[in-house]
Amino acid sequence: MLGERLLRIGFPLAAAAVAFQTAAHLINEFLLDDRVEGLDADVEGNVFTWASSVSTFAFAVAAFLHAMRLPDPAA
């Protein structure tokens, strides 16, 4: 089923994204002395903000398509 597949793929993907963002932020903070603004998770308008918006939109589209595929309970 599509919902189960989304959950099976979505949770590891979300965990990997969180791990990547955390690692990038910590590397920027401690190894690069906070010099790279694009790796700072606290700054708006960087790649992490964009990725968050895209993932929210993609999940909304997937949820809509899944809802359209479900049978009508009243029928």
pLDDT surpassing 70 at residue 3: no
26 within domain boundaries: yes
Parent domain of 42: 2-69
75 within domain boundaries: no
Distance CA 10, CA 69 (A): 19
24 within domain boundaries: yes
Q: Considering only CA atoms, which of 20, 37, 19 is closest in space to residue 28? A: 37
74 within domain boundaries: no
Among 1-5, 28-32, 43-47, 59-63, whose mean pLDDT is lowest?
1-5
51 within domain boundaries: yes
The answer to whether the CB of 9 falls within 8 A of the CB of 15 is no
pTM as predicted: 0.62
Q: Work out how many domains the chain is built from and give that number.
A: 1
12 within domain boundaries: yes
56 within domain boundaries: yes
Neighbours of 36 (CB within 10 A): 14
